[in-house]
Structure 1
Amino acid sequence: MLSYQHIYHAGNLADVHKHALLAWMLRYLTAKDKPLTYIETHAGRAVYDLQDEYALKTGEAAQGIARLEGKFADHPYGETLQQTKAENGETAYPGSPMIAAQLLRATDKIHLAELHPAEHAALDFAMSPYPVTCHLTDGFGMAHSLIPPTPRRGMMLIDPSYEIKTDYETIPRDIRKYARAWNVGIIALWYPILTNFAHSDMIKTLSDDHPDALRHEVRFDPARPGHGMVGSGMFILNPPYGADAEAKRITNIYKDL
């Protein structure tokens, strides 16, 4: 949906959850001296200014990364936070494309899709120092065209806005096809946990289709009165060894909020 811009939500508690798990998995993958492919279907602009008026308007970053950054000091996620600040200023926050670009290597392939023209232009600019391919296209379609990728080893992050309500119905079908074509790929889906439980049927279908996947959720208070998101979920096919332990560690961090 072309109206969505992530700046309103950058650095919130859902971002911290998603990005911490993403960074951990990427660090795990790069421990082996073998090239890999990273695919992201809904990339956004890659770098966000948390002092931007739109970020300040919601106050979500103040409740998210501002409170939890210290918990990730010795973590690959924390490394990307510091590198992004060093390169872009103290109020800069890395989106998932920047986290991937910083943690991956020159031998790895990175494909990023973003359909919003202004967000794509910002993404292309932010990624210009890195060996990355930015696609101005629908991310689900891009993924279908690339899978199975070369190199075949790697992972994909699916992180839609869910403003297109049919995503909840179509995503399980897309993931079923991705998994069939790329049975060795790590396929990670982020989803919001809302007060209306819009995700429930989608997750039930995914769990039935992929019983060995890792499902990890964290809960938190609404960002403001009337805000519908009360948690964050990740559904991961072919999770790397140790991902369940890392997920439990993150759960303990959120319990202390």
Structure 2
Amino acid sequence: MLSYQHAYHAGGPADVHKHVALARVLRALTAKPRPLTYMETHSGRGLYDLASAESRKTGEAAEGIALTDLAGEPFAETLELVRDLNGPTAYPGSPWLAASMLRDQDQMHLMELHPAEHAALCDVLPGAAIQRCDGYQGVMDLSPPEPRAGMVLIDPSYEVKTEYAQAGAFMRNLLRRKWPEACVMVWYPILRAGRHAELLEEIAPLNPVIHEIAFDLKGGAGMLGSGLAAVNLPAGVELGPATV
């Protein structure tokens, strides 16, 4: 898992799917005056350059953010802000997105195990609460947090086949044993092997909202689609029906 570099996938259709939904949830959560806690299990480096060698090698951004109409989406505001500050090819990871939307009274805790990604994240968000640790354990150790209202984003690399079931078991255990009121959202890739079914089976007792999209990435040689499963969504937030 320590070989994973998200820079190759930044701005791709799966990334846009995840970030549009995340921005919708954060907009709803921050519309209320009470403070909240935001956590991530797998944070990445937080900020990407879509003109980088990694991004150009896969070309995923050209099939994702370059083709996406963000009119009316909260994520459009974050994308505009990050590019005003960092140039026209900048793209925010979820930590940067969250940091741009959270308020002074909110708390953010980020977990990242990869040494290079962790170091880059610390440079991108100096002063943020960032731990280099196993993200599942890090979130568990901090839960339930103060303030107790809030959200957890689970976004593993899924390089290890068992991580589908592991992500699902973590989500179920967090909500049942530690932080039942948390809004928890997990992202998963849809591949030909169909291993995401293991994750969905683990969390089925939680009655999650499921949102899946299909796409033809790399002419069918890559992912077939992208999925999100969420529990305790804020009232009024619509992730949409499954389309795969």
Please state which band the TM-score falls in when normalised by the shorter chain.
Answer: over 0.9
Aligned with 2:240 (options 223, 244, 247): 247
**Alpha-carbon distance in 2 for matches of 1:33, 1:225:** 45
Q: Which residue of 2 aligns with 1:137?
A: 133
The corresponding residue for 1:72 is 70
Code of the residue aligned with 2:202 in structure 1: it is T
1:49 corresponds to which residue? 49
Q: Which runs of 5+ in 1 are unaligned?
A: none
- Equivalents in 2 of 1:56, 1:224: separation in Å? 16
For 1:13-162, list aligned pairs within 5 A: 13-68=13-68, 71-128=69-126, 132-162=128-158
Q: How many residues matched?
A: 243
Structure 1 residue 236 and structure 2 residue 230: aligned? yes
**Pairing 1:212-223 to 2, within 5 Å after superposition:** 213-223=208-218
**Residues 7-16 or 176-185, more deviating:** 176-185
Describe the SS at the equivalent of 1:247. coil
Paired residues of 1:114 and 1:139 also in contact (CA < 8 A): yes
State the Cα RMSD in Å: 1.5
Q: Distance in 2 between matches of 1:73 and 1:81?
A: 12
Deviation at 1:204, TM superposition (A): 2.2
> What's the TM-score, normalizing by structure 2?
0.95
Point out 4+ residue stretches in structure 1 off by more than 3 angstroms. none
Supply the AA of the counterpart residue of 2:38.
Answer: Y
- 1: CA distance, partners of 2:221 / 2:74: 34
Question: How far apart are residue 201 of structure 1 and its match?
Answer: 2.4
TM-score normalised according to structure 1 size: 0.91
Report whether the alignment pairs 1:165 with 2:161: yes
CA distance in 1, matches of 2:116, 2:124: 12
CA drift at 1:242 = 1.9
Amino acid at match of 2:160: I
Query: Shift in Å at residue 18 of structure 1?
Result: 0.4
Distance 2:75 2:53 in 1: 25
The amino acid across from 2:129 in the alignment is T
- Alpha-carbon distance, 1:72 to partner: 1.4
Which amino acid in 1 is paired with 2:206?
H
Q: Does 1:189 align with 2:168?
A: no
Quick one: which amino acid aligns to residue 220 of structure 1?
F
User: Could you tell me the percent identity over the aligned residues?
Assistant: 47
Point out where structure 2 has 5 or more consecutive residues left out of the alignment: none
**1:174 equivalent in structure 2:** 170
Instruction: Tell me whether 182-191 or 171-180 shows the greater mean CA deviation.
Output: 171-180
**Structure 1 CA distance, aligned partners of 2:228 and 2:161?**
18
The offset of 1:225, in angstroms, is 5.0
CA distance in 2, matches of 1:225, 1:24: 29
Asked whether 1:205 is paired with 2:202, we answer yes
Q: Is the CA contact 2:37–2:146 (under 8 Å) kept in the aligned structure 1?
A: yes
Deviations, residues 71-93 of structure 1 (Å, cap 9, x unaligned): 21332100000000011111000
